[in-house]
A = this chain, B = another copy of it.
Amino acid sequence: MRVTAHDVAEAAGVSRSAVSRAFTEGASIAPEKRQRILSIASMLGYQPNRIARGLSGRRTGLVALVFGRVSSPYEAWLLDHLSQAIRARGKWPLLLSAFPEGELDGALAHALSYQVDGAIVAAGSVSRTLAERCAALGAPIVMVGRILDGVAVDAVCCDNALGMRQLVELLVSEGRHRIAWIGGKAEAFSNVERQAGLLEALSGWGLEPWARRVADYSVEGGMLQALALLTADERPDAILCGNDAMALGAISAARRLGLGVPEEIAIAGFDDIPAAAWEPYLLTTVCNPVAETAAQALRLLEQRIDDGARPHEVVRLTPRLVRRRSA
Protein backbone atom coordinates (compact mmCIF):
# COMPACT_ATOMS: atom_id res chain seq x y z
CA MET A 1 0.00 0.00 0.00
CA ARG A 2 2.42 2.59 1.24
CA VAL A 3 5.68 2.63 -0.70
CA THR A 4 8.62 1.85 1.57
CA ALA A 5 12.38 2.01 1.28
CA HIS A 6 12.28 -1.69 0.65
CA ASP A 7 10.30 -1.22 -2.55
CA VAL A 8 12.67 1.44 -3.78
CA ALA A 9 15.70 -0.68 -2.93
CA GLU A 10 14.28 -3.55 -4.92
CA ALA A 11 13.43 -1.39 -7.90
CA ALA A 12 16.88 0.17 -7.89
CA GLY A 13 18.73 -3.02 -7.15
CA VAL A 14 20.42 -1.64 -4.05
CA SER A 15 20.16 -2.21 -0.32
CA ARG A 16 17.72 -0.48 1.98
CA SER A 17 20.71 1.21 3.57
CA ALA A 18 21.55 2.82 0.27
CA VAL A 19 18.04 4.19 -0.06
CA SER A 20 18.25 5.63 3.39
CA ARG A 21 21.60 7.21 2.61
CA ALA A 22 20.28 8.73 -0.55
CA PHE A 23 17.82 10.66 1.56
CA THR A 24 20.30 11.59 4.26
CA GLU A 25 22.23 14.77 3.78
CA GLY A 26 25.96 14.17 3.87
CA ALA A 27 25.75 10.38 4.02
CA SER A 28 28.51 8.60 2.16
CA ILE A 29 27.04 7.33 -1.04
CA ALA A 30 28.19 7.60 -4.63
CA PRO A 31 26.66 10.71 -6.14
CA GLU A 32 25.37 9.01 -9.26
CA LYS A 33 23.88 6.23 -7.17
CA ARG A 34 22.07 8.76 -5.03
CA GLN A 35 20.71 10.41 -8.13
CA ARG A 36 19.42 7.16 -9.51
CA ILE A 37 17.78 6.17 -6.23
CA LEU A 38 16.22 9.58 -5.82
CA SER A 39 14.72 9.54 -9.26
CA ILE A 40 13.38 6.01 -8.89
CA ALA A 41 11.96 6.99 -5.51
CA SER A 42 10.12 9.91 -6.95
CA MET A 43 8.74 7.77 -9.74
CA LEU A 44 7.40 5.37 -7.16
CA GLY A 45 6.07 8.21 -5.05
CA TYR A 46 8.31 7.27 -2.17
CA GLN A 47 9.00 9.62 0.68
CA PRO A 48 10.73 8.47 3.85
CA ASN A 49 8.27 7.92 6.65
CA ARG A 50 9.00 10.67 9.16
CA ILE A 51 7.53 8.69 11.97
CA ALA A 52 9.89 5.79 11.42
CA ARG A 53 12.74 8.20 10.93
CA GLY A 54 11.94 9.85 14.22
CA LEU A 55 11.81 6.55 16.00
CA SER A 56 15.18 5.39 14.85
CA GLY A 57 16.79 8.19 16.71
CA ARG A 58 16.87 11.08 14.35
CA ARG A 59 14.82 14.17 14.79
CA THR A 60 11.15 14.23 13.94
CA GLY A 61 11.27 17.72 12.49
CA LEU A 62 8.33 18.65 14.68
CA VAL A 63 8.34 21.91 16.61
CA ALA A 64 5.63 22.46 19.21
CA LEU A 65 4.03 25.87 19.01
CA VAL A 66 2.42 26.76 22.29
CA PHE A 67 -0.30 29.38 22.13
CA GLY A 68 -3.34 30.28 24.15
CA ARG A 69 -6.13 31.36 21.86
CA VAL A 70 -4.93 32.00 18.39
CA SER A 71 -7.78 34.20 17.30
CA SER A 72 -6.78 37.45 18.95
CA PRO A 73 -5.14 39.70 16.40
CA TYR A 74 -1.66 39.82 17.84
CA GLU A 75 -1.50 36.07 18.45
CA ALA A 76 -2.80 35.25 14.99
CA TRP A 77 -0.21 37.51 13.50
CA LEU A 78 2.63 36.02 15.51
CA LEU A 79 1.45 32.51 14.75
CA ASP A 80 1.51 33.28 11.08
CA HIS A 81 5.12 34.41 11.18
CA LEU A 82 6.24 31.64 13.45
CA SER A 83 4.68 28.89 11.41
CA GLN A 84 6.20 30.32 8.27
CA ALA A 85 9.62 30.52 9.88
CA ILE A 86 9.34 26.92 11.00
CA ARG A 87 8.30 25.72 7.56
CA ALA A 88 11.09 27.73 5.98
CA ARG A 89 13.52 25.60 7.94
CA GLY A 90 11.95 22.38 6.77
CA LYS A 91 10.30 21.70 10.09
CA TRP A 92 6.63 21.38 10.98
CA PRO A 93 4.64 23.19 13.58
CA LEU A 94 2.66 21.05 15.99
CA LEU A 95 0.07 23.48 17.23
CA LEU A 96 -0.70 23.38 20.90
CA SER A 97 -3.35 25.93 21.59
CA ALA A 98 -6.24 26.74 23.82
CA PHE A 99 -5.19 24.32 26.50
CA PRO A 100 -7.05 24.87 29.75
CA GLU A 101 -5.64 27.65 31.88
CA GLY A 102 -2.66 26.53 33.91
CA GLU A 103 -2.26 23.22 32.17
CA LEU A 104 0.70 24.22 30.12
CA ASP A 105 2.99 21.73 31.80
CA GLY A 106 0.72 18.82 31.11
CA ALA A 107 0.15 19.90 27.56
CA LEU A 108 3.83 20.33 26.86
CA ALA A 109 4.60 17.00 28.45
CA HIS A 110 2.11 15.46 26.11
CA ALA A 111 3.75 17.19 23.16
CA LEU A 112 6.96 15.55 24.24
CA SER A 113 5.39 12.19 23.53
CA TYR A 114 5.60 13.18 19.88
CA GLN A 115 9.31 13.64 20.27
CA VAL A 116 9.17 17.23 19.15
CA ASP A 117 12.59 18.62 18.37
CA GLY A 118 11.78 21.72 20.36
CA ALA A 119 9.03 24.01 21.51
CA ILE A 120 8.30 27.67 21.07
CA VAL A 121 6.20 28.91 23.93
CA ALA A 122 4.15 32.03 23.36
CA ALA A 123 1.61 31.59 26.13
CA GLY A 124 1.57 30.78 29.78
CA SER A 125 4.59 30.27 31.88
CA VAL A 126 6.91 27.29 31.81
CA SER A 127 8.00 25.79 35.08
CA ARG A 128 11.66 25.29 35.73
CA THR A 129 11.25 21.55 36.03
CA LEU A 130 9.49 21.27 32.72
CA ALA A 131 12.10 23.38 30.98
CA GLU A 132 14.77 21.11 32.36
CA ARG A 133 12.91 18.00 31.42
CA CYS A 134 12.46 19.21 27.87
CA ALA A 135 16.11 20.07 27.60
CA ALA A 136 17.10 16.67 28.95
CA LEU A 137 14.96 14.99 26.31
CA GLY A 138 16.63 17.00 23.61
CA ALA A 139 13.61 19.20 23.02
CA PRO A 140 14.69 22.64 24.07
CA ILE A 141 12.28 25.48 24.73
CA VAL A 142 12.36 29.03 23.49
CA MET A 143 10.01 31.49 25.10
CA VAL A 144 8.51 34.31 23.11
CA GLY A 145 7.27 37.49 24.71
CA ARG A 146 8.12 36.36 28.20
CA ILE A 147 11.28 35.92 30.22
CA LEU A 148 11.61 33.70 33.24
CA ASP A 149 13.72 34.88 36.09
CA GLY A 150 16.06 32.23 37.36
CA VAL A 151 15.04 29.69 34.76
CA ALA A 152 17.69 29.01 32.19
CA VAL A 153 15.62 29.32 29.02
CA ASP A 154 16.32 31.11 25.79
CA ALA A 155 13.89 33.90 25.14
CA VAL A 156 13.05 36.65 22.73
CA CYS A 157 11.00 39.55 23.87
CA CYS A 158 10.23 43.07 22.90
CA ASP A 159 11.77 45.78 25.06
CA ASN A 160 8.51 46.69 26.71
CA ALA A 161 9.97 49.35 28.98
CA LEU A 162 11.52 51.16 26.05
CA GLY A 163 8.23 51.05 24.20
CA MET A 164 6.40 52.62 27.11
CA ARG A 165 9.13 55.23 27.44
CA GLN A 166 8.64 56.22 23.83
CA LEU A 167 4.92 56.54 24.26
CA VAL A 168 5.14 58.53 27.46
CA GLU A 169 7.71 60.83 25.94
CA LEU A 170 5.44 61.48 22.99
CA LEU A 171 2.45 62.21 25.17
CA VAL A 172 4.29 64.43 27.61
CA SER A 173 5.97 66.36 24.83
CA GLU A 174 2.48 67.09 23.53
CA GLY A 175 1.55 68.52 26.87
CA ARG A 176 -0.41 65.59 28.22
CA HIS A 177 0.03 65.12 31.91
CA ARG A 178 -3.09 63.32 33.03
CA ILE A 179 -2.14 59.95 31.63
CA ALA A 180 -4.35 57.01 32.54
CA TRP A 181 -3.44 53.37 32.14
CA ILE A 182 -5.56 50.40 31.11
CA GLY A 183 -3.55 47.32 31.86
CA GLY A 184 -4.14 43.83 30.48
CA LYS A 185 -4.31 40.46 32.19
CA ALA A 186 -2.69 41.12 35.53
CA GLU A 187 -0.32 38.17 35.58
CA ALA A 188 0.69 38.34 31.94
CA PHE A 189 4.39 38.99 31.58
CA SER A 190 3.95 41.61 28.91
CA ASN A 191 1.45 43.43 31.07
CA VAL A 192 3.70 43.43 34.11
CA GLU A 193 6.61 44.78 32.13
CA ARG A 194 4.60 47.39 30.30
CA GLN A 195 3.00 48.64 33.45
CA ALA A 196 6.35 48.83 35.25
CA GLY A 197 7.80 50.59 32.23
CA LEU A 198 4.99 53.08 32.28
CA LEU A 199 5.47 53.90 35.95
CA GLU A 200 9.16 54.35 35.52
CA ALA A 201 8.82 56.50 32.44
CA LEU A 202 6.20 58.68 34.10
CA SER A 203 8.28 59.13 37.22
CA GLY A 204 11.12 60.28 35.00
CA TRP A 205 8.86 63.24 34.24
CA GLY A 206 7.77 63.59 37.81
CA LEU A 207 4.38 62.11 37.02
CA GLU A 208 2.18 59.34 38.21
CA PRO A 209 -0.60 57.56 36.38
CA TRP A 210 -3.77 59.62 36.48
CA ALA A 211 -5.75 56.45 37.01
CA ARG A 212 -5.28 52.75 36.55
CA ARG A 213 -7.69 50.15 35.30
CA VAL A 214 -7.52 46.56 34.30
CA ALA A 215 -9.13 44.81 31.36
CA ASP A 216 -8.48 41.52 29.60
CA TYR A 217 -6.61 42.60 26.48
CA SER A 218 -9.85 42.57 24.49
CA VAL A 219 -11.50 45.31 22.47
CA GLU A 220 -14.65 45.10 24.58
CA GLY A 221 -12.68 45.22 27.82
CA GLY A 222 -10.78 48.29 26.69
CA MET A 223 -13.98 50.00 25.72
CA LEU A 224 -15.62 49.37 29.08
CA GLN A 225 -12.68 50.61 31.10
CA ALA A 226 -12.22 53.64 28.91
CA LEU A 227 -15.88 54.52 29.35
CA ALA A 228 -15.34 54.47 33.09
CA LEU A 229 -12.25 56.64 32.84
CA LEU A 230 -13.85 59.13 30.51
CA THR A 231 -17.01 59.60 32.50
CA ALA A 232 -15.18 60.17 35.77
CA ASP A 233 -15.28 63.60 37.39
CA GLU A 234 -11.76 64.37 36.44
CA ARG A 235 -11.00 63.08 33.01
CA PRO A 236 -7.54 62.04 31.89
CA ASP A 237 -6.14 63.74 28.79
CA ALA A 238 -4.51 60.57 27.57
CA ILE A 239 -5.10 56.83 27.86
CA LEU A 240 -2.31 54.34 27.40
CA CYS A 241 -3.42 50.76 26.88
CA GLY A 242 -1.53 47.53 27.47
CA ASN A 243 -2.18 46.39 23.93
CA ASP A 244 -3.72 47.59 20.70
CA ALA A 245 -7.00 45.71 20.99
CA MET A 246 -7.91 47.56 24.18
CA ALA A 247 -6.84 50.84 22.62
CA LEU A 248 -9.23 50.26 19.74
CA GLY A 249 -11.97 49.77 22.27
CA ALA A 250 -10.91 52.95 24.05
CA ILE A 251 -11.18 54.93 20.85
CA SER A 252 -14.71 53.64 20.39
CA ALA A 253 -15.52 54.67 23.93
CA ALA A 254 -14.28 58.20 23.35
CA ARG A 255 -16.33 58.46 20.17
CA ARG A 256 -19.41 57.20 21.90
CA LEU A 257 -19.00 60.01 24.40
CA GLY A 258 -18.46 62.51 21.63
CA LEU A 259 -14.90 63.19 22.66
CA GLY A 260 -12.37 64.16 20.01
CA VAL A 261 -9.41 61.82 19.58
CA PRO A 262 -6.74 63.07 19.98
CA GLU A 263 -7.95 66.63 20.63
CA GLU A 264 -9.71 65.91 23.88
CA ILE A 265 -8.27 62.55 24.66
CA ALA A 266 -5.10 60.98 23.27
CA ILE A 267 -5.11 57.19 23.04
CA ALA A 268 -2.24 54.84 22.35
CA GLY A 269 -1.71 51.11 22.30
CA PHE A 270 1.07 48.57 22.02
CA ASP A 271 1.95 46.01 19.30
CA ASP A 272 0.89 47.64 16.05
CA ILE A 273 -1.50 44.93 14.93
CA PRO A 274 -2.89 45.33 11.41
CA ALA A 275 -6.17 46.82 12.66
CA ALA A 276 -4.26 49.70 14.24
CA ALA A 277 -3.80 51.10 10.75
CA TRP A 278 -7.46 50.83 9.81
CA GLU A 279 -9.00 54.13 8.92
CA PRO A 280 -11.50 54.59 11.73
CA TYR A 281 -8.75 54.11 14.25
CA LEU A 282 -5.36 55.25 12.97
CA LEU A 283 -3.97 54.22 16.28
CA THR A 284 -0.71 55.59 17.55
CA THR A 285 1.19 52.69 19.00
CA VAL A 286 4.53 50.99 19.31
CA CYS A 287 5.51 48.28 16.87
CA ASN A 288 6.22 44.90 18.38
CA PRO A 289 8.45 43.46 15.66
CA VAL A 290 6.76 40.17 14.94
CA ALA A 291 8.78 39.02 11.96
CA GLU A 292 12.01 39.57 13.78
CA THR A 293 10.62 37.87 16.84
CA ALA A 294 9.87 34.77 14.80
CA ALA A 295 13.26 34.80 13.14
CA GLN A 296 15.13 35.16 16.41
CA ALA A 297 13.06 32.50 18.12
CA LEU A 298 13.97 30.03 15.44
CA ARG A 299 17.59 31.00 15.50
CA LEU A 300 17.72 30.43 19.25
CA LEU A 301 15.93 27.12 18.93
CA GLU A 302 18.25 25.80 16.28
CA GLN A 303 21.35 26.90 18.09
CA ARG A 304 20.12 25.23 21.23
CA ILE A 305 19.34 22.04 19.34
CA ASP A 306 22.86 22.05 17.95
CA ASP A 307 24.49 22.74 21.26
CA GLY A 308 22.51 22.11 24.40
CA ALA A 309 25.32 23.45 26.56
CA ARG A 310 25.70 26.92 25.14
CA PRO A 311 24.93 29.78 27.48
CA HIS A 312 21.31 30.84 27.53
CA GLU A 313 20.44 33.91 25.59
CA VAL A 314 17.74 36.51 25.99
CA VAL A 315 17.12 38.68 22.97
CA ARG A 316 15.48 42.04 23.51
CA LEU A 317 13.94 43.49 20.41
CA THR A 318 13.63 47.22 19.94
CA PRO A 319 10.09 48.48 19.50
CA ARG A 320 9.45 51.38 17.18
CA LEU A 321 7.05 54.21 17.80
CA VAL A 322 4.35 54.38 15.14
CA ARG A 323 2.63 57.68 15.19
CA ARG A 324 -0.73 57.85 13.53
CA ARG A 325 -3.62 60.00 14.54
CA SER A 326 -4.90 58.92 17.91
CA ALA A 327 -2.07 60.51 19.89
Contacts and interface: CB of A to CB of B under 8 A. Distances in A.
B1 A137 contact: yes
Given A92-B94, A110-B47, A115-B51, A70 B87 contact: no
A95 B279 contact: no
Contact of A47 (B60, B70, B109, B249): B109
Contact of A252 (B45, B69, B76, B278): B278
Contacts of A109: 47
A50 interface: yes
Contacts of A84: 97-98
A12 interface: no
A223 interface: yes
B112 A83 contact: no
A278 B51 contact: no
A109 to B, nearest CB: 7
A48 B280 contact: no
Copies held by the complex? 2
A215 B280 CA distance: 20
A326 to B, nearest CB: 12
A136 B71 contact: no
Interface string A50-81: 11101100001010010001110101110110
A153 interface: no
Interface in A164-180: none
Contacts of A96: 92
A46 to B, nearest CB: 10
B87 A80 contact: no
B94 A98 contact: no
Interface residues of A, number: 58
B98 A95 contact: no
A256 interface: yes
A76 B71 contact: yes
Given A51-B114, A69-B80, A252 B275 contact: no
Contact of A70 (B48, B83, B252): B83
Contacts of A281: 280
Contacts of A98: 80, 83-84, 87
A309 to B, nearest CB: 16
22 contacts: A45-B133, A47-B110, A47-B113, A49-B113, A50-B114, A51-B113, A51-B115, A52-B55, A55-B55, A62-B114, A65-B95, A71-B80, A80-B97, A80-B98, A83-B98, A87-B97, A93-B94, A94-B95, A219-B274, A252-B279, A275-B275, A280-B280
Interface of A: 1-2, 45, 47-52, 54-55, 60, 62, 65, 69-71, 73, 75-77, 79-80, 83-84, 87, 92-99, 109-115, 133, 136-137, 219, 223, 248-249, 251-252, 255-256, 274-275, 278-281
Given A92-B95, A252-B278, 19 more contacts: A2-B137, A50-B114, A51-B55, A51-B113, A62-B94, A71-B76, A71-B77, A71-B80, A73-B73, A76-B76, A76-B79, A83-B95, A87-B97, A92-B94, A94-B95, A219-B274, A249-B279, A252-B280, A255-B280
